[in-house]
Amino acid sequence: MFVVNLTLENKMIELKKYYQSLNFVGSCCMAVTLPWIVFKVFRAIYLQRSHNSLIGKIVVITGASSGLGEALAHAFYKRGCQVVLCARRRQELDRVRTELLQTHCTVQTFPPIIIPLDLSEYNNLSQHVTKILSITGHIDILINNGGVSHRGHAVSTNVDVDMKIMLVNYFGSIALTKAVLPSMIKKNQGHVVFVSSIQGLVALPERSAYSASKHALQAFGDSLRAEVASKNISVTVASPGYIKTRLSLNALTGSGAAHGQMDKSTESGYSPEFVSERIFTAVARKEKELVISTMLPKVAIFLRKYLPALYFFAMEKRANKADFIEEATTK
């Protein structure tokens, strides 16, 4: 009897201890999860608010006839922005506009405006901006997205091709920005976005012209950001990894011809919608820069900065491998 009682008592004490420890673990969990839940709720409210803060904004998007620019047009249009679609091909811009008008939206929408323009005609861009301003009155957000890529060795790339890529990706974008800025400064508000690339942070072989143009864009963006901060103008530089668009098909080879091939890396890249959503959020939250990529490119950016020898070595290997493939396919 006595033994039984003792074990029962022991059991009770054990149970009590167990219960207390559970209680302790429970309160620890609560101490962690409660703030986490509160954080999540506030974040959701904050995000919703910042998304709504873009309702009615006038957003000029270059390269809106295809790929990421087209997806950006959808992202901003469906949140109630008035989008101004710019690119060379009027027909494609018309197609995008028609598709936008057909989408079902939960907020009030504004009819998209089409402005055909060529970024390489940088002297004409201020006329296009004057035209946009005469229609809309002002510009809230400028997204410099239009661009062209490069495929080929530096030594066999015509300097005209280097210039063409620099003209579209860099000079065209900065000329448009310079044409838009005075109206933003006058209004004491605005936001300029530059769509750079991972290759604006780390250069790859066989992409010298493209990488150089995107590096230039990064530097321009950083410099401008500091200058216009006091004018209540934000600058966002977005650096995405591969996106499944027509970029590699439209890339220029050393002779200036279109590459005409869908590269494997581009084919297996992010969807344009995924990247455009990330950029939309970054604009809504006024993020200064964002890198949209998997782990490997982030490691490459880190290595380039802190362990450059390793990055140089990896790029050399990559270049040799590409040469081997090129030789094999031209034989």
Ligand X SMILES: *[C@@H]1O[C@H](CO)[C@@H](O)[C@H](O)[C@H]1NC(C)=O
DSSP-assigned beta bridge partners for residue 141:
59, 191
Structure tokens belonging to residue 226:
């500091």
Residue from the set 242, 253, 284, 311 that interacts with ligand NAP by CB under 6 A: 242
The beta strands (E) that lie in 107-207 are given as 113-116, 141-144, 150-151, 190-195
Q: Tell me the C-alpha to C-alpha distance, in Å, between residue 87 and each of 10, 81, 117, 146, 149.
A: 81, 19, 5, 7, 16
Q: Which listed residue (59, 63, 228, 297) binds ligand NAP by CB under 6 A?
A: 63
Q: Determine which one of 77, 210, 270, 311 is catalytic.
A: 210
Residue from 127, 223, 271, 294 in contact with ligand X (CB under 6 A): 127
Residues 6+ apart with CB under 8 A from 109: 77, 78, 80, 100
77 is catalytic: no
Binding region for ligand NAP (CB under 6 A) out of 17-25, 86-94, 100-108, 219-227: 86-94
Q: In the bound complex, what is the minimum distance in angstroms from residue 140's beta carbon to ligand X? A: 7
What are the tokens at 223? 């410099």
Dist CA 138 CA 180 (whole Å): 9
**Residues 216-235, interacting with ligand X (CB under 6 A):** 232
191 contacts 233 by C-beta, under 8 angstroms: yes
Nearer to ligand X, 160 or 316 (CB): 160
Q: Which of 240, 252, 276, 297 binds ligand NAP (CB under 6 A)?
A: 240
The verdict on 52 binding ligand X (CB under 6 A) reads: no
DSSP H helical segments within the chain, as ranges?
2-52, 67-77, 90-102, 125-136, 159-166, 173-187, 208-228, 247-250, 264-267, 272-284, 295-306, 308-330
> β-strands 252-253, 190-195: how paired?
unpaired
**Minimal CB distance residue for ligand X:** 189
The residue from 65, 109, 211, 293 that contacts ligand NAP (CB under 6 A) is 65
CA trace torsion 324, 328, 330, 331 (10° rounding): 130
Per CB under 6 A, 130 contacts ligand X: no
Grouping H, G, I as helix, E, B as strand and the rest as coil, residue 25 is: helix
DSSP string, 85-110: EEES-HHHHHHHHHHHHHS--SS---
Q: Taking CB within 5 to 8 Å according to partner kind, which of ligand X, ligand NAP, none is near residue 63? A: ligand NAP
Tokens of 307: 């362990």
- With tokens 């990894």, the residue in question is 241
Candidates 16-24, 141-149, 278-286, 306-314: pick the segment binding ligand NAP (CB under 6 A): 141-149
Query: Which among ligand X, ligand NAP, none contacts residue 243 (Cβ within 5 to 8 A by kind)?
Result: ligand NAP
Position 124 contacts ligand X (CB under 6 A): yes
- Give the shortest CB-189-to-ligand NAP separation in angstroms: 25
What is the per-residue binding string for ligand NAP in 190-209, x denoting contact by CB under 6 A?
Answer: -----x-x------------
- Give the span between the Cα atoms of 82 and 323, in whole angstroms: 47
Give 168 or 202: the residue with its C-beta nearer to ligand NAP. 168
Distance CA 177, CA 193 (A): 9
Ranges within 164-183 binding ligand X (CB under 6 A): none
Q: Which residue is associated with the tokens 């295809």?
A: 66
Q: Which stretch binds ligand X (CB under 6 A): 23-31, 118-126, 257-265, 315-323?
A: 118-126
Q: Which residue has the tokens 């959503």?
A: 277
How many residues sit close enough to ligand NAP to count as binding (CB under 6 A)? 30
Q: Return the active site residues.
A: 210
Binding stretches for ligand NAP (CB under 6 A)? 62-63, 65-69, 87-89, 92, 118-120, 145-148, 168, 195, 197, 240, 242-243, 245-247, 250, 266, 269
Chain residues that interact with ligand X, rule: CB under 6 A: 121, 123-124, 127, 188-189, 232
